[in-house]
Amino acid sequence: MPRPLTYHRPPFWRRPQLRAWLLQALLLAAVLGGIAYLFDNALANLARQGIASGFGFWNERAGFGIDVSLIAYDASSSYGRAFLVGLLNTLLLSALGIVFATLLGFVIGVARLSSNWLIRQWAAVYIETIRNVPLLLQIFFWYFAVLRPLPQPREAIELFGLAFLSNRGLVVPRPLLEPGFGWLLAALAAGLIGCLLLRGLLRRRAPGLRRWPWMLALLLGPAALVLLITGLPLGWELPEFQRFNFRGGLTLTPEFVALLVALATYTAAFIAEIVRAGIQSVGRGQREAAYSLGLPPALTLRKVILPQAMRVIVPPLTNQYLNLTKNSSLAAAIAYPDLVSVFAGTVLNQTGQAVEVIGVTMAVYLTISLAIAAAMNLYNRRVALVER
């Protein structure tokens, strides 16, 4: 009678899983040790040259002004506040650039597949031209060739009597928030939450019902009630020319406009190709089936093609968002006060503490990129095809 097979468990020091964990731990320790050595060596070299280290400079007086600031700032503010101003300017530029690049990229990507020969060729020329010209040259083009030659403020181009365009930028009316504006925001938030709840309820109880009229009424109803009670809690400060420049209103500087236009148009060319590839990845049978059901082309694209194409579009779209955020650091080329220009430029030159300043700047860009990637990965999981 053959002897039964028995399994002898190897000692724990010979298990493959344990060896893998030990090798990873040794590699991590080596990497951390190398970083600690380089950091300690940098501090020793700085101390040898008499250069201060640490973040004691953070609360010191900056002593320089910043033209574009979303928060209160003057020359008496601290370096920490200057860092916050640069960070907010970078976030504003990146967020608006992502929005405009996405909208423009989707329009051009769809136009690239149009049945109209002229529209299709126009989209192809735009893509091939914009994406093959360096971004820095495009920034210089919009700033030096388009915006700087505009007339002086005294001869500014008037737009409907409300806005004025000159070489100092675009001046538009500034919104002034009244005390009841908070109630209006609360009403809109309550309406939005109600719409989300109603959408889920109607999807389960009445899947064939047209939901958008009810959701629109629920969204705007509370806000309309607040407006009837308090009136419009919003005023406007109109710009007015005084002596040499405009006073009042909200000014979009030429540096900001040039950067925003260049970043949006440049990134949109790459997004357009991503959208084109995503739409072409959907089988032709899907479009033909939609047409056979009587769906018009626009509704077919919105309800049938794009939802399936988004599974292909989202991963490379994330890379373009990350590239746009990092490319915003080119703002230093035309003196727009972003994080690199203010903190890694002026603050670094005044304090001389390169390790701390550059380290913080790199950490900020890393954090922003990881946050964008995490948000896009979350959305990618929602639109991904779930196999059953």
Sequential pLDDT tens for the chain (388 residues): 556 655 566 666 666 777 788 888 999 999 999 988 887 787 777 677 666 667 778 888 888 888 888 888 888 889 989 999 999 999 999 999 999 999 999 999 999 988 889 999 999 999 999 999 999 999 999 999 998 888 888 888 887 778 888 888 888 888 777 777 777 778 788 878 877 777 777 776 666 666 667 777 777 777 777 777 777 777 777 788 777 777 877 888 899 999 999 999 999 999 999 999 998 888 888 888 888 888 888 788 888 888 888 888 989 999 999 999 999 999 989 989 999 999 888 888 888 888 888 889 999 999 999 999 999 998 888 877 654 4
Asked if residues 111 and 119 have their Cβ atoms less than 8 Å apart, the reply is yes
Asked if residues 181 and 233 have their Cβ atoms less than 8 Å apart, the reply is yes
State residue 95's pLDDT score.
94
The span from the CA of 104 to the CA of 264, in Å, is 8
pLDDT at 83: 92
pTM comes to 0.80
How far from chain centre, in Å, is Cα 261?
Answer: 14
3-state secondary structure of 342: helix
* d(C-alpha 286, C-alpha 308), whole Å: 10
Please enumerate in sequence order all residues whose Cβ is within 8 A of that of 73, keeping only pairs 6 or more positions apart, or say none: 65, 66, 81, 82, 85
Q: Is 150 exposed, middle or buried (0-12, 13-18, 19+ CB in 10 A)?
A: middle
**Of 65, 67, 94, the residue nearest 168 (C-alpha):** 67
Token pair of 53 as six digits: 């280290």
Give, in degrees to the nearest 5, the angle at Cα 335 between 340 and 268. 75
Distance CA 290, CA 300 (A): 6
Coil vs helix vs strand at 234? strand
What is the C-alpha R_g of the chain? 28
Delimit the domains of the chain by residue range: 174-237
Q: Report the C-alpha gap between 283 and 267 in whole angstroms.
A: 27
Widest pairwise Cα distance in the chain: 111
- Burial annotation 260-291 (CB, 10 A radius, 16+ → b, else e): bbbbbbbbbbbbbbbbbebbeebeeeebeebe
Helix (H, G, I), strand (E, B) or coil at 282: coil
CB 139 within 8 A of CB 334: yes
According to the model, what pLDDT value does residue 5 have?
54
